[in-house]
Amino acid sequence: MELRGLGHTDIAVSPIGLGGWQFSRGAGVVGRYWPTISQAGVVEIVRASLDHGINWFETAETYGRGDSERSLAMALEAADADPSDVVVATKWWPLFRGAESIAHTLGQREEYLRPYRVSLYQIHHPYAFSTLRTQMQVLCQLVFERRIAVPGVSNFSACQLRASEEVMQEYGLHLASNQVRYSLLDRRVERRGVLETARKLGISIIAYSPLGQGLLTGKYHGVAAGRVQRAFSSDALSRTRPLIDLLAQVAARYEATPGQVALAWVIRFHGRAVFAVAGARTPEQAKENALAMQLDLTEDELHRLDEVSRMVGLK
Ligand SMILES: NC(=O)c1ccc[n+]([C@@H]2O[C@H](COP(=O)([O-])OP(=O)(O)OC[C@H]3O[C@@H](n4cnc5c(N)ncnc54)[C@H](OP(=O)(O)O)[C@@H]3O)[C@@H](O)[C@H]2O)c1
């Protein structure tokens, strides 16, 4: 299975990772978004991911106030994942907090994720009480203390990314990644120069919600409007229909699914610059998503999907 280096680091990860938001057990404001999955279910999801080539797992402090981290670590252990074979990423939650809490709360992350190390530690979004400079300085300190392997950010603009990387370089370090919303349904990071800036700086992009939270699998296009979950308006469903039809057409050529084609597009359209972190609620979904890494779309297919995605123009 293909592994790619994350940013300037020597951390080699699969192009697709498994997202841990779904493991929040319904706890906290953010964690309530997804229905609860039993711990046995999480084990099966993690096992299916490992069995099909995924070697990194992404979670956050705010996903169920640590429940996702605990659940992920227990599942990795139950699936016999050797700590030296997997990469675990988590995130610090900045809202109403200062940079001192990055280091303060890391102890809890380490405890919840044990025996797995915090390889990639990310600032969840750029809205903290402290300046970006102070936050980056704390991350550098944590690298020097070997408490984290590499620093990363999430939801940072091009300008915030440049400013943060500048601080990192003062300390002889680099940001590994910027985790942002990116899919065939949401191309804003391209239009706003985030992707281009990251490429120039050698920082990887990690695309979250690469399946548009399920919309790009096409399964919500077939159900009655009243039963549609989450924020999928009937307008969004009808506007995206041409894109779903194209995904299905391409998928049929490979005996794949529309969702797999959507994931393959994310990790291939920009060469090796973009990784995807996909969430799954069942082991079958996790397996299907991992197998998308084997789908090698042609240049023609990548560009046709690009075109139709722009025409649909959701975001
Ligand atoms: N940094 C950030 O601010 C941020 C924000 C959001 C997410 N994230 C991270 O990114 C990860 C992924 O993003 P996401 O969960 O928002 O969206 P996503 O990966 O686009 O969608 C995940 C959802 O799509 C459905 N699905 C997944 N695989 C499927 C398959 N093969 N067939 C059919 N349906 C499938 C499942 O929901 P249903 O079965 O209910 O349809 C699943 O919960 C999260 O787990 C989290 O770790 C980070």
Please report whether residue 253 resides in a domain.
no
Please report whether residue 57 resides in a domain.
yes
Please report whether residue 239 resides in a domain.
no
pLDDT of residue 222: 76
**Mean pLDDT, all residues of the chain:** 95
Q: Which of 309, 312, 315, 220 lies closest to 266 in space, CA to CA?
A: 309
The protein residue with its alpha carbon nearest to ligand 1, atom 35, reads 214
Mean pLDDT for the stretch of residues 17-41: 94
Burial class from Cβ neighbours inside 10 Å (0-12, 13-18, 19+) for residue 194 reads buried
For residue 146, the CA-to-ligand 1 centroid distance in Å is 31
Please report whether residue 221 resides in a domain.
no
Residues with beta carbon inside 6 Å of ligand 1? 19-22, 58, 124, 154-155, 179, 208-214, 217, 219, 259, 277-281, 285, 288-289
Please check the confidence at residue 10 and state whether its pLDDT lies above 60. Answer: yes
Residue 5 phi, psi (nearest 5): -75, 135
| 231 — pLDDT class (breaks 50, 70, 90) | low
Q: Each residue of 138-170: pLDDT tens digit?
A: 999 999 999 999 999 999 999 999 999 999 999
Q: Which atom of ligand 1 is nearest to the CA of 288?
A: 31
Please report whether residue 13 resides in a domain.
yes
Please report whether residue 290 resides in a domain.
yes
Please report whether residue 31 resides in a domain.
yes
Please check the confidence at residue 77 and state whether its pLDDT lies above 70. Answer: yes
| Alpha-carbon gap, residue 22 to 4, rounded angstroms | 25
Please report whether residue 284 resides in a domain.
yes
| Alpha-carbon gap, residue 290 to 300, rounded angstroms | 23
Q: What is the CATH number of the domain that holds 54?
A: 3.20.20.100
For residue 207, the CA-to-ligand 1 centroid distance in Å is 11
**Structural domain boundaries, residue 97:** 4-214+263-296
How many domains would you assign to the chain? 1
For residue 281, the CA-to-ligand 1 centroid distance in Å is 8
